[in-house]
Homo-oligomer: A and B are copies of this chain.
């Protein structure tokens, strides 16, 4: 397994503020954050932040021990239950809290047929589209600087043929076509924040999604990254499928985000269920054997994904059991205790793939640095530098 592309490995010049070489010195190189986005659903931070830390404290503290990347919910139906009254304050406070903790926040999603606002259906299609585009302006501009990453549109493969219930977005997707709607919402989001990372996201990993992406790219849709959902309530894909999906979506050359990963620690959902939402149970227990299996499967999958240079983010969907579908899908049990998967992933992210070391400069103030890409605090004799070590960095570090 070659993960050298996740690291920098080069000779660095260490100097003081006057430009003098820091010779023959022991220098501590401590990682503060990953360049790679290790993500998880951040929904639990909303009650935590809004209660000033009284609710969900154990959850929030555990979460922050591993992750540097959170997905926050912008489902239109929940975000703007009544037209004209968006829940901006709550989301802004939560996103700002996370940002202050060094966590990158992604808004999910700007356009989706599920969880959509019912009041939109009172309008004709032209008005629905206009309101959709204005919502994109409002959120993307309104959160700029706090949230600069968006799932722009979700699950478009099924969108125009979704027939479980009538909704405003299926109506306009049927009229404009898939690529037409994708182009409209991406163009608007890109105009609203040209620096934002904009994702297309889908659970459909078949040839349908490949062809859709192919069409979008040829139509000039400004997709920053391909979002792939991998809810595996019906059992782990296995390494073969993980590699196969990676191969099929790699040929576009775009960054790939595993946006919604789920591996559960209980009984597997029966294979005959097509829409996961159709599986409604009263309880879905986590089991000791399930927890061992979950940890093993998450480890294998994360290792495969971390090795692929195009993968830039992996987000586990639920941090704690009992959320979507009541599944045992989290790193924490219902009582907030940590599963084996938590300890395993923390070890990967904060030990095996983490740099906390010391280098010794030579007589010219040079030392070779081998370090996982990310943010660092470099220190020597009370002087320090807070820097980011990535491919683009300069080769001199000034200690102040």
Contacts and interface: CB of A to CB of B under 8 A. Distances in A.
A216 interface: yes
Given A177-B252, A178-B211, 9 more contacts: A157-B207, A174-B251, A179-B215, A179-B218, A180-B214, A180-B218, A207-B208, A211-B212, A218-B218
Rank and list the top 10 A-B pairs by shortest CB-CB distance, nearest first: A215-B215, A218-B219, A179-B218, A219-B219, A179-B214, A211-B211, A177-B214, A211-B212, A179-B215, A178-B214
Contact of A215 (B174, B212, B251, B252): B212
Interface of A: 157, 161, 174, 177-180, 183, 207-208, 211-212, 214-220, 251-252
A216 B216 CA distance: 9
A180 to B, nearest CB: 6
Contact of A161 (B207, B212, B220): B207
A206 to B, nearest CB: 8
A100 to B, nearest CB: 41
B215 A183 contact: no
Contacts of A207: 157, 161, 208
A248 to B, nearest CB: 9
- Copies of this protein chain in the complex: 2
B251 A218 contact: no
A209 B389 CA distance: 45
A215 B183 CA distance: 10
Contact of A208 (B178, B183, B208, B219): B208
A170 to B, nearest CB: 13
A214 B218 CA distance: 11
Nearest to A221: B218
A214 B176 CA distance: 10
A165 to B, nearest CB: 20
A180 B215 CA distance: 8
5 contacts: A179-B218, A208-B211, A211-B215, A212-B214, A218-B218
A273 B161 CA distance: 28
A158 to B, nearest CB: 9
Contacts of A179: 211, 214-215, 217-218
Contacts of A217: 177, 179
Contacts of A183: 218
Contacts of A161: 207
Contacts of A215: 179, 211-212, 214-216, 218-219
A216 B215 CA distance: 6
Chain B CB within 10 A, most for which of A180, A207, A220, A252: A207
A157 B214 CA distance: 12
Nearest to A212: B211
A204 to B, nearest CB: 10
A211 B180 contact: no
A222 to B, nearest CB: 13
Contacts of A216: 215, 218
A220 B179 CA distance: 12
A274 to B, nearest CB: 15
A217 B178 CA distance: 11
A214 B215 CA distance: 7
Nearest to A216: B215
Nearest to A179: B218
A246 B207 CA distance: 22
Nearest to A161: B207
Contacts of A220: 219
